[in-house]
Amino acid sequence: MPGISSLRFNLRLLLVALIFVLLLLPPLLNALPAGHPLRVSDFVVAVTGKWICYAILALSIDLAWGYAGILSLGHGAFFALGGYAMGMHLMRNIGDRGVYGHPILPDFMVFLGYKELPWYWLGFEYFPFAMLMALLVPGALAGLVGWLAFRSRITGVYLSIITQAMTYALMLAFFRNDMGFGGNNGFTDFKDLLGVPLNTPSARTGLYLAAFGALLITLLISAHVVQSKFGRLLIAIRDAESRVRFLGYDVTAFKLFVFVLSAMMAGLAGALYVPLVGIINPGEFSPGNSIEAVVWVAFGGRGTLIGAILGAFSVNALKTWLTSFAPDLWLLVLGALFIVVTLFLPRGLIGLIKRRGA
């Protein structure tokens, strides 16, 4: 028996290595001289970079759902909050290069008649501060929501509904102009990040590699968590929460820990995503986004980490391909995908591979 399990383990490692090697190809092939047959377009780099951010989001959902059984249908909110934190920094970087040429206020504030920067915009001109907020704000929100829910032993579908309501409420709030986050237009027309103009090839490659590194690091952190006794406790909580209490563990603390960690990972993904796509608006909070991200994880195979990454790439590849000629079909296909996975592939893509491996 141990032979088979270590074989499976090696198969998984091999898969991880393969994914990361493949992910290095787009920026490398993009650097080839124009006209070279193997050269890939800027578009491919931008899209793959976006998918890497989605893969980090999927990983964060797998940690909470696949291991601890916390099915959050609001992780899109943590992603969006991280994105807004980065967006605020990018807006501050514009300086007096906006349409109105105001030295401090972003265009939308001038337009809305703001006289000075709201207090909660202070500090975002500093990159490290903005990055810190991209982690801390989602983490704090998850801490609050999680604390309220977990200590009252709210689980299962009720928890899912609460998280879904959370992202919906945030979407409505961010749509309002007087929130000070640009209303329904959100933030866009970014100029540069860390002194590098965003529309240059080197910025694109840099952002891509940053996302690549973040995926690698978040995967390593997640793997460390799930392979520790902490990870085995998460599985125990997922399968028999009450039994864990009778062993003397504080279940609320364990769930809170993993939920906050997961929200911070989602926030990081959002922060990396915004400079890559050049825009953030309240649409990122829409409940559908969170549900779609859960489908990625279910499709790839939950509770395996690598499955979440695989799911994010494959479902988004399908989406990009399909929406290029039949955008109206996407929601139908997504729904069908979810049904197929639930009925025929309870362990997702990774379950198929494992069956082969064994």
Q: Could you list the residues that contact other proteins (CB under 8 A)?
A: 1-2, 225, 228-230, 232-233, 235-236, 238-240, 242-251, 253-254, 257
By C-beta, is 143 or 283 nearer to other proteins? 143
Residue 189 in contact with residue 94, Cβ under 8 Å? yes
By C-beta, is 42 or 250 nearer to other proteins? 250
Q: Residue 265 is encoded by which pair of tokens?
A: 């990972």
By C-beta, is 66 or 82 nearer to other proteins? 66
- Rounded to the nearest 10 degrees, what angle do helices 306-323 and 287-300 cross at? 120
Tell me how far CA of residue 149 lies from CA of 55, 156, 220, in angstroms. Answer: 27, 11, 28
In angstroms, what is the minimal distance from the CB of 269 to other proteins? 22
In angstroms, what is the minimal distance from the CB of 210 to other proteins? 27
Residue 63 in contact with residue 303, Cβ under 8 Å? no
By C-beta, is 148 or 161 nearer to other proteins? 148
Give the integer Cα–Cα distance in Å for 233 and 238: 8
Q: Beta strands of 111-206 (E only): which ranges?
A: 187-188, 192-193, 196-197
Tell me how far CA of residue 292 lies from CA of 54, 58, 116, 133, 273, in angstroms. Answer: 11, 10, 38, 25, 17
Amino acid found at 10: N
By C-beta, is 308 or 312 nearer to other proteins? 308
Amino acid found at 94: I
By C-beta, is 66 or 311 nearer to other proteins? 66
